[in-house]
Structure 1
Amino acid sequence: MSEYGALPTGFRRKRLDEIFSELCEYFKGTIGVDPSEHPQSFFAVIVQSFADQQEQLWEEVENVYYQLYPGSADGVNLDNDIQISGFMRKARKRSRYVLACTGDDGTLIPYGSLVKSTTQPERQLQASANQEISRENFWRIKVRPVLTDVSKVTEYTITLHQNIDSGSVGTVVQAYTKTISGCATYAAAYDAMKAAFVEAGEKIGLTITEEITDDMDDTGALVKLIVATGTKEDDSFYAELTSNVQVEQVTSNLSYETVEYGDISLPLGTITQIVTGVNGLTSVNNAVKYSPGRLAESDAEVRLRYAQSVAIRGSNTIDRICASLLADVDGCDYASGYENYTDKEDAEGRPPHSIEIVVRGGDDTEVAETIWNGKAPGIRPYGSHYAYITDSEGVRQYVQFSRIENCVLHLKVVLEVTKSELDNNYLEKIQSILTTAELTAGSNVKMQETLIPAILKGVNGINYIDMTGYLDDTGGKTVGVYKHGTIVVGLRQQPTITNDSIEVTVSE
């Protein structure tokens, strides 16, 4: 058996001195001349040159050997290795921004049209698709009634509803429709229409104001516009209006991306300059938090993520989905899964033959796409949150999952102490210990095993601790009952401790 090449202990290549020695032995045995005896001779130089070429071949063979394994491969060879296991390097990605684009109703924003920031250095962004500033996708809309014939009573119909792609399951978004009749004057039509918008705003989340223009109505008064604005910067609404409702201006939230790749963060309100002139577009602004991009993963980053994502290559659907979420969805730092394989609803409310994936962080659509692509056919994804995605056949799919809910852990800490030995800053130390404690989502908090020992170890002068607690929602609206022992944490809850949720007293 050869002592070189691919061995059970790994790859061993021949060194230059070993190759030269073998060649010298060969020529000594065949032609009776040992080149090593006369190293300055022409023959020895030739043999040395051949040995050097063989040594380079051994180096190439060794390199090929190590390029077969993810732990040692580089570049495209590493990509080829990990693809065997269904794993891929994260490609570079542009940072995405939602820009509030203001202009005329029906203004087309073509793909690739440019805007830029006011920062130094300035950054250019391009429209990520052909999009439209439209009443069918508005964040803000300015309207007014039109009297087509002042001698006749005019009727107006408005329909408004909210466009939602993701959110909490069970959220009812009411559509609002109103027909306004009996309006013989502009003032009557305006007042009735404004009242309808105010009523709609209360139901679907619009703020209604008005704006005065320089135009005159039929009575000689200045024309006012009804301004309907979403209460959140990333809201989107749909308006269906009769032709006698004039749309003066629309602001739509449209998708842009940076021209450069990578995580390019720009302050809110700094993307305001239009580079590519578009008829009907008057202004742009970034009022919504951006989605960061990235550069292509380095070899070291790929190897680390590959090693951490062994479960992706497993046969268990839940493990594979959770591992994919953690590995591939930016911002997702927690994922766990549960399944109901029975023919009946389980104790957690999961339907028969369903899975529930609980996540924290990550874009709704990216989370939903990962779950959809990882689940088995015929299995329903279930949860308290939802997002719409488009599958490989171009069909719009509704995907449910659950989001981690942050819950406040309220604690009462009663201390028995030796006052002469008690740290002067004992309260600050206890608050620091408790607020930095590592509490895991979905895991019960055993105060006697984690929190109490940490305080005893970190604060001098404490002889005994009596600790009670209860878990509440983030708003703290519900007054719970303090109890000893273990605090039960739901599968979808993340317990957090704040300074305000800690009450410390010293027993005399």
Structure 2
Amino acid sequence: MLDKTGFKRKRFDDLFGEMEDKSKETFGDKINTSERSPLGIILRIFAWFLSNLWGTAEDVYNSSYINSAEGNSLDRLGPHVGITRVLDQYSVGTILLTGTPGASILEGFQVVTETQIYFETLEDAIFDSMGKVSVPIEAIESGQSSNVASGAISVIVNPNPDVTGVTNLQPTTSGREKMTDAEFRDLFTQSVAGGGAATIDAIIGALLSVDSVRSATVIQNFSSITDASGRPPHSYQAYVLGGRDEDVAQAIFSTGAGGIESYGDIVKSVKDIGGFDHEVKFSRAEEVALKVSVDITKNEQYPANGDDLIRSAIVLYIGGEDGGSYYNGLSMGSPVVYKKIIGAVSKIDGIEDFTLKIGKNNILVEGNITLERYQVAQTRTVDIEVNSHV
């Protein structure tokens, strides 16, 4: 039922109880509704189907709210605040083919790694006089697993007499999974003020709606004197991670209050609807590079790619680069909570025990990392050392 307190789902026991009460009211208190009686069986069957309908009704109700919507229902809420979910991406790179000089290879030529990760060429190619040619490739399947190391691509799917060998001199990059519901909810929460204007939250929301912006914050000087950071009186300074300068400046100009000065070391000119130029200033976020060291005691359930899974879990929480793809992670100024990293690592199967240290400037500790409002924590898989042993 739906009332002022929200939706209240009726479950199987509730429905069967109501149907049993109604049966006794209709046929008398002595009517047999036990599990093996004909009426009891019929009532339980109907109650089961009705409980499924109530469950569907609850899902429909919950799909209207950011904290309870899932999947495509959650995606449909994003445009209301000007954001969309980052979809899964395909890994890309370049392979070096060797073969018959002057021979041509058509677009779509397929190669594969020893671990069965398939790629195909993106354009036609012709071998040079040395019998070599570099060709761009893209993974057949999306996801982070298609980011492979240099030299991993070594097998030709369909043998061709004009092609004698293949390798990739550089790792393939940019493959990533679709943004999770949890990641998208975090982005939604940060962007929820994007429909407004002339407020700090509105500017942050507008910045987060800019393509490829991963984090943003705004610091305002409310006083009548220049503050300690050099911000003029009654001004604001936007700090942004990612995005093109021109797009960032346009978002600030479109959302900021008229007559309030923007401040920063980056200056861009933006035109208003009358065609007149206006200067917009902002700054880039200070990225705080973090290093992590994890020492794992594992058992037989520890997966073969367990070390990589641990690195990915840490990057997903903190934010940064994993296999050429960038993840939002923590919002700007948010502290890196040590126990949450512990929790992320603990989800990997086959870990008996582990110790973990994190820090910046090569000073690693077992504790939280605090940041200034204009700083954002970032890490990379290459900066996460994982030592696993039995």
Normalising by the smaller structure, the TM-score range is 0.3 to 0.5
Q: If the length of structure 2 is used for normalisation, what is the TM-score?
A: 0.46
Structure number with the bigger relative contact order (C-alpha 8 A, sep ≥ 6) is: 1
**TM-score, structure 1 as length reference:** 0.38
* Structure number, greater radius of gyration: 1
Structure number having the greater strand percentage: 1
